[in-house]
Amino acid sequence: MSDWMVTQGPLPRRRPQALSPLREHLRDTFWFAPTAAMVGVFAVWLVAQELDAALVRSLQDDGDFDTLADLLRFADDAKAVVSAVGSAMMTFIGVVFSISLVAVQMASGQFTPRVVRLFVRSRITKATFAVFLATFVLTLLVLTSYDSNADPRAATTVPLVQSVLTLLMVALSLLLFVLYVNATLRLMRVSHVIARIAAESLRVAALMPLPAGAGEEPDVGPVTAWVAHEGRAGVLRDVHVARLVRVARGHGVVLRLVPRTGDFLVPGTPVLAVHGGAAPPRRVLRYALSVGVERTFHQDLAFGLRQLSDIGLRALSPAVNDPTTAVQALDRVVQILATLSRRPLDAVPHRDRRGTVRLVQPVPGWAELVDLGFTEVRACAAGSPQVTRRLSAAFDDLLLLVPRDRRAPLLRHRELLRQAVERTAPTPADRAFALRPDRQGIG
């Protein structure tokens, strides 16, 4: 199978759209934007150089040598500014790079290593590096355009347009630097990181509306063939739903995805069960599944809960002892579970244009999502009344929102929390205080 990322779920009220493998691969890299900016600024410099040369030729043809002499003096003054910009820009780049490394290290240690992807995929960070490097390259190119001949009649070029372009790039660099520092400081604050994770999770839910009839796996008959994973070992990141539906329709079969998005695959692992016929050829299944080194949000409903749970666990560790952060993480866990509370889960049947089921995709069930959001934090929260009170309020709120048939996992966790607090709290008064519902923990 291919290692490229390929798809994203269908947009609401729109036809399913596949993610671009190249686009997603480049978003996970840090080299493309700066490289493209340097190549782009070289092309812009060529145009600006030609404009400067055309301006000089026009003035010489008109015999306006006085104006040309004034432009040569202006260019000499601007040369000092361009030289200073070229020297300072590398220092500026070093400062930005140092800030990025510190921010990534702090976020990884304070929150969870999985939030590093927020920095890697940050558009403002890439734009800042790209513009800074482009400005530095432009200053070097502009310096090569200065003519040592001070005679207006013999001059071949005056870097007037190039100098103005350099000043504009400097102004843009300063603006981006301010925006970059602001964005980096926000990503170093736990509340903004948690909110960003929740927003990504809710976006996945919005971009992956489950079709009608989801929630229970349709009867597709016995398995007639299997398709094994033949790529490198890694995490299943994306499934190209539209491609698999077309392949299944073209071969008159039903495909059932065996692993869920986020599962780790090794070569030889069955990834597709075929119902109703022979397995499609390997060549038509190319780029249908994307395997990478880490999970992403694209089709993974559970990934956001996994990160929030990790943040809550780290906050409750004896080395950190920050129950307020755990409460903030639980706030977003409740928000995500409330959004998914009435959504069909477990299995998603995808149909072709005639309404025939062609692909069955497994997704986490309600009980699994509840366990992922609460189990580990609940197990570590017994000695922290602030967190136990927030958990009690979370269970009460969700019990009011979810359908009756989905209350069992919440009731089970509430009972396990009560038992844990009874084992930890020394007196009945302490136990009553720790189990009193409070959306702020201890407000």
DSSP-derived secondary structure for 202-257: HHHHHHSPPPTTTTS------EEEEEE--S-SEEEEEE-HHHHHHHHHHHT-EEEE
What confidence category does residue 8 fall into, taking pLDDT thresholds of 50, 70 and 90?
very low
> Between vectors from CA 35 to CA 32 and to CA 36, what angle results, nearest 5°?
80
Separation between Cα atoms, residue 292 and residue 142, nearest integer Å: 42
By DSSP bridging, strand 264-265 and strand 289-292 are unpaired
The most confident of 75-89, 199-213, 352-366, by mean pLDDT: 352-366
Task: Answer yes or no: is pLDDT of 218 > 80.
Answer: no
Q: Tell me the C-alpha distance between 255 and 224, whole Å.
A: 10
Q: Are strands 347-351 and 254-257 parallel, antiparallel or unpaired?
A: unpaired
Q: What is the DSSP letter of 291?
A: E
Residue 343 has pLDDT above 60, yes or no: yes
Q: Is the pLDDT of residue 345 over 60?
A: yes
The rounded distance, in Å, linking the Cα atoms of 180 and 164 is 24
The mean of the pLDDT values for the chain is: 83
Tell me the pLDDT band of 272, cut-offs 50, 70 and 90: very high
Query: Distances from the Cα of 268 to the Cαs of 93, 228, 272, in angstroms?
Result: 46, 5, 11
- Give the C-alpha separation, 377 to 433, whole Å: 19
Mean pLDDT of 5-22: 42
The band of 433, judged by pLDDT with boundaries at 50, 70 and 90, is very high
Summarize the confidence of residues 305-331 as an average pLDDT. Answer: 90
CA distances from 114 to 183, 189, 306, 370 (A): 18, 15, 9, 20
pLDDT tier at 386, thresholds 50, 70, 90:
very high
Q: 410 pLDDT exceeds 70?
A: yes
Q: Is the Cα dihedral 138, 140, 145, 147 positive or negative?
A: positive
pLDDT band at 206 (very low <50, low <70, confident <90, very high): confident
The conformational region for residue 281 under phi > 0 = left, psi -120 to 50 = alpha, else beta, is: beta
Q: For residue 377, give Cα distances in angstroms to 323, 333, 387, 433.
A: 10, 11, 9, 19
pLDDT band (50, 70, 90) for residue 208: low
Q: What is the pLDDT of residue 404?
A: 92
In this prediction, residue 21 carries a pLDDT of 53
Number of C-beta neighbours around residue 375 at 10 A: 14
pTM of the model: 0.77
Closest by CA to 265, choosing from 295, 287, 286, is 295
pLDDT value, residue 2: 35
d(CA 28, CA 293): 11
